[in-house]
Amino acid sequence: MRDPDEPAPVAHPLVLRLQRHSFVVMLVASIAIALMLVAVAMSLYASSGAAQLDLSRPGFSAVRSSVDKSDNFDTFPSTGPITEQTLRDFDKLYTAKSKEVDAVDDFGGDVLSDKSLGIDDSQAAASSDATN
Amino acid sequence: MKMKYIKRVASIVIAGTLIFMSGNMVAAVGTGETPLSDSQLQRIKTNCLDAQSTLSQLHVSDALLRVNRGQLYESIANKLMAPLNSRIVFSGFSAEKLISDTTSYNKHLASFRANYLAYGTAMDDIAKLDCQAQPEQFYRSVADVRHKRNRVYDEVKALKAGVAQYKTDVTDFANDFKATAQ
């Protein structure tokens, strides 16, 4: 309990100013918090890999229509007994999908070689060809 | 006292946000690399805009490939491998080999996602380079992107091997099942 003869504590001038303009302080603080949260969200968007899968980004409009949106992947049921017939059914589904896997050599090829991009040292290559 | 507390909380929040964001930034420093010849630097400056255009087109086609093929690889794990494994286990049979194959496949799938993220980020960065002003930086970045794309390809090969291995082990299981049933 404070002594009645003791002078009342005086608030910091900055605190008094903030109290006088509390509405503006609230607006500024809300905007600052919103900006910080947007920064965190954008950082998560980039770091989680979602950005790489997002074909709605500018520059990817040419391939948006080529995304396979069909839901025709037959799921093998996870309940039920194991019989020769169910194993045959599974083999049929799995063989079809493994053929799809093998049909494309994704991310293969030599498309990023210096020669393909025209940034190799052509003079050095030409002189080594002459030596050979 | 109150002011001190407000300042302390504000500085902790700002510092935390900055640390979180800086954790996602990667500084690439090239050390110990062979310097490029003048002729090569000139060739890079001449051709780099076309090279950047090629890289940009490749990035777009690879993004589509990532989405479509990624869906296929994930569906194989979630809609074929996992249901068969659980069905075999609930029926009282041993699926140890199949579960081991599935675990290995899922690890390669996780690596595929992570490696593609690194590759895609590197491709985004290379598009922002002024290749004519920084030909050597551009050349090093292309080498880095090439290396990262190869790592994605290594995981694709591992996933394809995983799909084949699982099929082999399912066939073995089916043969043993048939033999036991007879």
Phi, psi of B52 (to 5 degrees): -65, -35
For residue A115 the two structure tokens come to 């020669």
Residue with tokens 């790489």: A52
Confidence of residue A120 (pLDDT cuts 50, 70, 90): confident
- Which residue among B70, B142, B177 sits closest to A119, beta carbon to beta carbon? B142
The whole-angstrom distance between B149's CA and the closest CA on chain A is: 7
Residue B68: per-residue pLDDT = 92
Confidence of residue B66 (pLDDT cuts 50, 70, 90): very high
| pLDDT per position as a tens digit, B85-98 | 999 999 999 999 99
For residue A10 the two structure tokens come to 């005086």
Judged against a pLDDT cut of 60, whether residue B125 lies above it is answered with yes
- Which residue among B14, B39, B70 sits closest to A123, beta carbon to beta carbon? B39
> How far, in Å, CA of A120 to CA of B41, rounded?
9
A80 touches chain B (CB under 8 A): yes
For residue B53 the two structure tokens come to 């255009």
Report the predicted TM-score, pTM, of the whole model to 2 decimal places: 0.78
Top pLDDT among B97 and A51 is at B97
Q: Tell whether the torsion through CA atoms of A23, A29, A35 and A37 is positive or negative.
A: negative
- Which residue among B17, B76, B87 sits closest to A40, beta carbon to beta carbon? B17
The whole-angstrom distance between A2's CA and the closest CA on chain B is: 17
Top pLDDT among B10 and A34 is at A34
Cβ contact, residue pair B156, A52, below 8 Å: no
The whole-angstrom distance between A132's CA and the closest CA on chain B is: 21
Other beta carbons within 10 Å of A11: 14
Angle between helical axes of A84-103 and B38-75 (0-180°, round to 10): 160
